[in-house]
Amino acid sequence: MTVRIYHNPRCSKSRQTLALLTEHGETPEIIEYLQTPPSADELRHLLSLLGIAPRELMRTDEDEYRELGLDAPSLSSEQLIDAMVAHPRLIQRPIVVYGERAAIGRPPENVLALLGPRS
């Protein structure tokens, strides 16, 4: 099975997570999600794998989050997903997917549970 990482090379946690995967013998498929943003369907799938709501995947400390009024509790899940598609900087990073499981690498060690026991 291939490990996939939604990666931002400018983010220290994302770089640390990628290094941790490599140290554990993985050669992940790297998706630089700022260059190739995930579609709404892809985000729905990631949310399902992560078991979280759209707002939990958002970087609420980003200026864009406030400027776009995304803190409004009346916004639907679909509106939040659409905002992440249009503004991928709002997506929490890194996201690591392994099979039908996913984890956010904050802290980077969170992703090790996806890999299972190592011999």
CA-to-CA dists, residue 58 to 20, 27, 53, 55, 101, angstroms: 23, 27, 9, 5, 19
Mark whether 11 is an active-site residue.
yes
Structure tokens at 103: 């984890």
Structure tokens at 88: 């991928």
Q: Which of 2, 5, 9, 11 is catalytic?
A: 11
- Catalytic residue annotation: 11
